[in-house]
């Protein structure tokens, strides 16, 4: 450890601006729940520091304490080697500590310039836009990356928004910056570019950076030192070049572990399950609608749709799930016209696992058992319509599904809205995989799940494929697409930009298609 | 034929100058409140209460301008109460707005009974028709000072939303709660102030009704103009300058019936009287086309979330 100390210090020597931060024995309770106990982290000035851990490990809680959103119950913070009292966000602000959130905090309807100026503490009562814009243009010239000042923040692509957030922090003269999962919405090329620039910024001594992440590839490439948390406790720390991926994973989940790649059985048949032709949707709020000429999914096949968030994938899921009307074109399932109505989806065995399943696939105030029966409550065992609900049958099936999918719920009779995100996900997956599923549409199935739940969900999707289901997988996580798909379709601007076999696919090439470059 | 068309067009223009002011004030007030992320349907109540208070104050003091001031104050109090109650957790602003609409009109009717008969001093008009000999033109270009005040308010509000700290803060609070929290802005206080100020504007709109045109106090004075102004804000895409244009359009639509009467079209008077309401419906249908979201709508409005 001692030589790390020296190297890192050497980096910090010619960095008059960046400040170091140290968290010592931080503890935080929410009621009886110990979110953090005795956690320490030392970030040296002018370094990129990785804060690692699984979901629920306490990473967010720790940085929220540091930034004044929560008050730590125990422990203390040293900022620039002085003990600091941080009780409000304004305190962190005054010390030059800032954070870029995973959920962006730009105001969508305001321009980048308006967002930047309004983020300042000393905004004048009346704003002289001419001088502010001149000043901003000067400032932008000194930045490593450019963002369009006059564009509305809501119209920026995710990568540009991320850059704007970072530029905003530098505009505010932050000297210590936390980035919360900064690459989760970026393409591989964008992510590499952004992290490279962030690393340069840190090593040039302008700012110290903490990156919250669980992508080990990024850690190996761009991070100097790490702190690992596990279940609210300190699990390890060190310089990245001394630690391999296996060590980091071991620290994160307690034992060396590599997720087993689900085994694929059987090849795609010629049996076309889903076929879209000339599909168009109306433009929405200035964003172009869908324009898909052909897209097919066959039995025994997973087709992965890759794309940067906001390029029509969400619209496609909404169209197939019956949430968005089409303007032109045809949808066919098993050769028959499909209008995404309840009757059609029941007749053809079409199931959808939408993103944000609690919002898009559940009635939050109804019970777990009722939600599990949403697909089938009005049919009897043979598929005939019934008008008198079979309550005991519903409860029995719910109990079965809860056991089969390992849902952790106090009982089947609590509102589904009280369950955690992972358990809601399991419930909806259980419901959508129940019975004869001929076509399964899944959107970002592993968003916000922990490592174990991710492996489990992916295994179930592959199992459905192996059993002959046609699967359309829409995901913003390119690694997930590469791992699960038989065939990859890239979407850009509502179009199909490319289609290629998953076997031997090159992530860089896919990334170029995602940006519309190739 | 062409002559009568010109007459109709002219009297619609005149009518629009005459009756658009309450639409303008209420829609500006509603625009301010909605920009902060809250809906106040109670502005209809503020309008009626403002009309009554203005008339009563003018009658008791003999000064119509004191009446206007009192109307703004009455609106302010009603809006402040709405804003304060909606700051509590789990209070729905739409439901609360309907309650305030009924409460405002109820209070106005209760205390306004004695003022239906007596006649109070009204606001003077400003004549822009001095260049013409025609009595009709002179009459048409007699403009209320409140109308000019309304135009000034629209311009000022537009500038505020673009170039002042306060205006941009209201937009942030209305558009993104996350951003407002991250910037440490006082969300509830901003909405409270925007609701109170918006209702004060609606109150001034009411003063116009009772102190300028039609210029009397009775229970059928507003006939839902305050509610229509809410639709008008949607139509105006939450832009104060557009609120001005939209108010003029609604005013002109309202003047269609009386204008047709001046050229001898006597049938369907009540039908034409309904034009503004038909325009309201048409606007809501056109702007609420399925599958698309409204452009310019503040992100935190409870009807849009």
CA distances to A416, B165, B239 from B157, in Å: 45, 12, 9
- Residue-wise pLDDT for B143-199, tens only, equals 999 999 999 999 999 999 999 999 999 999 999 988 898 888 899 999 999 999 999
Distance of alpha carbon B86 from alpha carbon B199, whole angstroms: 14
- Identify from A98, A118, A174 which residue to disrupt to test chain B contact, counting B C-beta atoms within 10 A and taking the largest count: A118
Name the strands in the sheet holding A82-84, side by side, starting at the edge strand that comes first in the sequence.
Answer: A33-43, A21-30, A74-79, A82-84
pLDDT of residue B291: 46
Q: Which residues of B touch A284 (CB under 8 A)?
A: 291-293
Give the helix ranges, DSSP H, for A39-81: 59-66
- Give the nearest chain B residue to A124 (CA atoms): B165
pLDDT of residue A55: 67
Full domain range(s) for residue B224: 2-122+143-304
Q: Is the CB of residue A201 less than 8 Å from the CB of residue A207?
A: yes
Which regions in chain A score pLDDT beneath 50? 1-16, 256-258
Residue B292 C-alpha, separation from nearest chain A C-alpha, in angstroms = 5
- Give the nearest chain B residue to A289 (CA atoms): B292
User: Can you name the residues that pair with A26 across neighbouring β-strands?
Assistant: A39
Distance of alpha carbon A501 from alpha carbon A119, whole angstroms: 46
Q: Which residues of B touch A107 (CB under 8 A)?
A: 171-172, 175-176, 179
pLDDT of residue A7: 38
Q: B294: which DSSP letter?
A: P
Q: Which residues of B touch A282 (CB under 8 A)?
A: 291-292
Torsions phi, psi for B262 (to 5 deg) = -65, -25
Q: A378: which DSSP letter?
A: T
**At A207, which helix (H) or strand (E)?**
none
Q: Is the CB of residue A208 less than 8 Å from the CB of residue A44?
A: yes
Q: Residue A122 in 3-state DSSP?
A: coil
In a domain, B131, yes or no: no
Residue A105 C-alpha, separation from nearest chain B C-alpha, in angstroms = 4
Q: Which residues of B touch A111 (CB under 8 A)?
A: none
In a domain, B127, yes or no: no
CATH code at B299?
Answer: 1.10.3470
Distance of alpha carbon A304 from alpha carbon A482, whole angstroms: 8
In a domain, B138, yes or no: no
The partner residue sitting opposite B168, judged by closest CB among A106, A108, A118, is A118
Cβ contact (<8 Å) for B163 and A118?
no
Dihedral over Cα of A139, A142, A144, A148: its sign = positive
Cβ contact (<8 Å) for A127 and B183?
no
Distance of alpha carbon A66 from alpha carbon A92, whole angstroms: 7
Torsions phi, psi for B164 (to 5 deg) = -125, 155
Total domains in the fold of chain B: 1
Cβ contact (<8 Å) for A108 and B163?
no
A324 in B contact zone (CB under 8 Å): yes
In a domain, B134, yes or no: no
pLDDT of residue A421: 76
CA distances to A406, B44, B82, B233 from B104, in Å: 55, 8, 11, 21
pLDDT of residue B95: 93
pLDDT of residue B131: 85
In a domain, B289, yes or no: yes
> Chain A, 146-205: which have a CB under 8 Å from a chain B CB?
none
For A154-181, give the DSSP string: GGS-HHHHHHHHHHHHHHTT-SEEEEES
- Give the nearest chain B residue to A287 (CA atoms): B292
A284 in B contact zone (CB under 8 Å): yes
Distance of alpha carbon B115 from alpha carbon B215, whole angstroms: 12
Cβ contacts below 8 Å, chain A against chain B, sum to 72
Cβ contact (<8 Å) for B165 and A125?
yes
Cβ contact (<8 Å) for A126 and B165?
yes
Cβ contact (<8 Å) for B171 and A123?
no
Q: Is the CB of residue B120 less than 8 Å from the CB of residue B67?
A: yes
Distance of alpha carbon A432 from alpha carbon A417, whole angstroms: 18
User: Can you name the residues that pair with A378 across neighbouring β-strands?
Assistant: none
Domains of chain A: 2-253 (3.40.50.300), 259-349+436-518 (3.40.50.300), 362-435 (no CATH)
Q: Report yes or no for ipTM above 0.95.
A: no
Cβ contact (<8 Å) for A109 and B168?
no
- Identify from B163, B174, B175, B182 which residue to disrupt to test chain A contact, counting A C-beta atoms within 10 A and taking the largest count: B182
Residue B65 C-alpha, separation from nearest chain A C-alpha, in angstroms = 30
Question: What is chain A's Cα-based Rg?
Answer: 25
Dihedral over Cα of A473, A479, A483, A488: its sign = positive
Distance of alpha carbon B202 from alpha carbon B200, whole angstroms: 5
A31 in B contact zone (CB under 8 Å): no
Q: Is the CB of residue A403 less than 8 Å from the CB of residue A444?
A: no
pLDDT of residue B46: 96
- Give the nearest chain A residue to B168 (CA atoms): A118
pLDDT of residue B13: 87
> By C-alpha distance, which of A186, A494, A498 is closest to A312?
A494
Q: A43: which DSSP letter?
A: E
> Chain A, 285-314: which have a CB under 8 Å from a chain B CB?
285-286
- Give the nearest chain B residue to A284 (CA atoms): B292
In a domain, B106, yes or no: yes
Torsions phi, psi for A267 (to 5 deg) = -115, 165
Residues in contact with A185: Cβ distance below 8 Å, sequence separation at least 6, in sequence order: A158, A159, A162, A308, A309, A476
Distance of alpha carbon A354 from alpha carbon A345, whole angstroms: 15
Q: Is the CB of residue B232 less than 8 Å from the CB of residue B27?
A: yes
CA distances to B2, B9, B256 from B134, in Å: 19, 16, 22
Cβ contact (<8 Å) for A103 and B292?
no
In a domain, B128, yes or no: no
Name the strands in the sheet holding A176-180, side by side, starting at the edge strand that comes first in the sequence.
Answer: A97-100, A176-180, A208-213, A48-52, A225-230, A233-239
Cβ contact (<8 Å) for B299 and A108?
yes
- Identify from B167, B172, B186, B296 which residue to disrupt to test chain A contact, counting A C-beta atoms within 10 A and taking the largest count: B172
In a domain, B133, yes or no: no
Distance of alpha carbon A332 from alpha carbon A277, whole angstroms: 8
Q: Is the CB of residue A323 less than 8 Å from the CB of residue A276?
A: no
**At A286, which helix (H) or strand (E)?**
none
In this prediction the pTM is 0.75
Tokens of A213: 């992440």
Tokens of A366: 């109804």
């Amino acid at each position: 450890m001692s030589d790390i100390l020296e190297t890192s210090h050497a980096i910090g020597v010619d960095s008059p601006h960046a400040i170091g931060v140290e968290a010592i024995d931080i503890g935080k309770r929410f009621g009886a729940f110990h979110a953090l106990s005795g956690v320490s982290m030392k970030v040296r000035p002018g370094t990129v520091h990785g804060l690692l851990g699984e979901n629920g490990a306490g990473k967010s809680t720790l940085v929220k304490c540091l930034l004044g959103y929560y008050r730590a119950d125990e422990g203390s913070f040293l900022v620039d080697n002085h003990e600091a009292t941080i009780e409000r966000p304004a305190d962190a602000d005054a010390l030059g500590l800032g954070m870029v959130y995973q959920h962006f905090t730009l105001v969508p309807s305001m321009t980048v310039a308006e967002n930047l100026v309004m983020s300042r503490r000393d905004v004048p009562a009346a704003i002289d836009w001419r001088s502010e814009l001149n000043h901003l243009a000067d400032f932008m010239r000194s930045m490593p990356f450019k963002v369009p000042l006059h564009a509305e923040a809501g119209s920026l692509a995710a990568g540009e928004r991320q850059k704007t957030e970072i530029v905003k922090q530098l505009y505010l003269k932050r000297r210590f910056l936390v980035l919360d999962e900064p690459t989760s919405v970026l393409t591989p090329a964008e992510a590499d570019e952004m992290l490279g620039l962030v690393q340069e910024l840190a090593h040039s001594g302008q700012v110290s950076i903490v990156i919250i992440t669980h992508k080990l590839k990024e850690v190996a490439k761009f991070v100097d030192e790490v702190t690992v948390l596990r279940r609210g406790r300190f699990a390890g720390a060190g310089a990245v070049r001394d630690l391999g991926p296996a060590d980091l994973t071991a620290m994160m989940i307690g034992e060396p572990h590599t997720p087993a790649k689900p085994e694929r059985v059987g090849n795609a048949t010629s049996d076309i399950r889903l076929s879209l032709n000339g599909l168009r949707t109306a433009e929405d709020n200035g964003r172009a609608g869908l324009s898909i000429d052909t897209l097919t999914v066959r039995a025994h096949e997973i087709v992965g749709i890759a794309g940067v968030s906001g390029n029509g994938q969400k619209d496609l899921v909404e169209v197939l799930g019956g949430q968005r009307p089409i303007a032109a074109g045809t949808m066919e399932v098993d050769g028959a016209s499909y209008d995404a109505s309840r009757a059609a989806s029941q007749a053809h065995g079409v199931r959808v696992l939408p993103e944000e399943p609690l919002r898009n696939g559940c009635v939050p105030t109804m019970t777990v058992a009722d939600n599990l029966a949403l697909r089938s409550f009005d049919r009897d065992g043979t598929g005939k319509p019934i008008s008198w609900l079979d309550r005991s049958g519903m409860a029995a099936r719910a109990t079965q599904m809860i056991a089969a999918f390992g849902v952790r719920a106090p009982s089947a009779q609590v509102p589904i809205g009280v369950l955690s995100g992972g358990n809601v996900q399991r419930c909806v997956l259980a419901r959508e995989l129940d019975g004869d599923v001929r076509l399964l549409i899944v959107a970002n199935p592993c968003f916000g799940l922990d490592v174990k739940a991710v492996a489990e969900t992916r295994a179930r999707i592959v199992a459905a494929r192996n059993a002959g289901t046609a699967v359309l997988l829409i995901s913003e996580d390119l690694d997930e697409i590469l791992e699960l798909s038989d065939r990859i379709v890239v979407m850009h601007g509502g179009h199909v930009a490319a289609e290629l076999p998953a076997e031997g696919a090159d992530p860089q090439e896919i990334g170029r298609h995602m940006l519309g470059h190739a | 034929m062409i002559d009568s068309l010109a007459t109709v067009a002219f009297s619609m223009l005149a009518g629009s100058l005459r009756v658009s002011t309450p639409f303008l004030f209420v829609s500006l007030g509603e625009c301010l409140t909605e920009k902060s992320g809250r809906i106040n349907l109670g502005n209809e109540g503020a309008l009626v209460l403002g009309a009554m208070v203005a008339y009563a104050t003018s009658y008791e003091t003999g000064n119509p301008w004191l009446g206007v001031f009192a109307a703004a104050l009455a609106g302010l109090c009603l809006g402040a109460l709405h804003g304060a109650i909606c700051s509590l957790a789990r209070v729905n602003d739409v439901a609360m707005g309907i309650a305030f609409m009924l409460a405002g009109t109820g209070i106005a009717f209760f205390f306004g009974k004695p003022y239906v008969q007596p006649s109070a001093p009204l606001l003077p008009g400003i004549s822009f028709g001095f260049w013409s000999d025609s009595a009709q033109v002179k009459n048409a270009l007699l403009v209320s000072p409140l109308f000019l005040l309304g135009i000034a308010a629209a311009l000022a509000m537009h500038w505020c939303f673009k170039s002042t700290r306060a205006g941009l803060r209201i937009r942030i609070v209305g558009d993104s709660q996350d951003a407002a929290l991250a910037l440490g802005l006082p969300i509830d206080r901003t909405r409270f102030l925007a609701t109170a100020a918006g209702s004060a504007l609606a109150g001034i709109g009411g003063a116009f009704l009772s102190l300028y045109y039609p210029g009397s106090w009775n229970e059928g004075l507003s006939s839902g103009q305050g509610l229509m102004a809410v639709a008008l804000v949607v139509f105006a895409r939450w832009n104060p300058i557009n609120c001005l244009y939209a108010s003029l359009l609604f005013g002109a639509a309202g003047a269609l019936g009386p204008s047709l009467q001046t050229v001898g079209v006597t049938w369907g008077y009540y039908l034409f009287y309904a034009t503004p309401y038909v325009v309201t419906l048409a606007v809501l249908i056109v702007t609420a086309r399925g599958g698309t979201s409204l452009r310019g709508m503040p992100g935190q409005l409870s009807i849009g979330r």
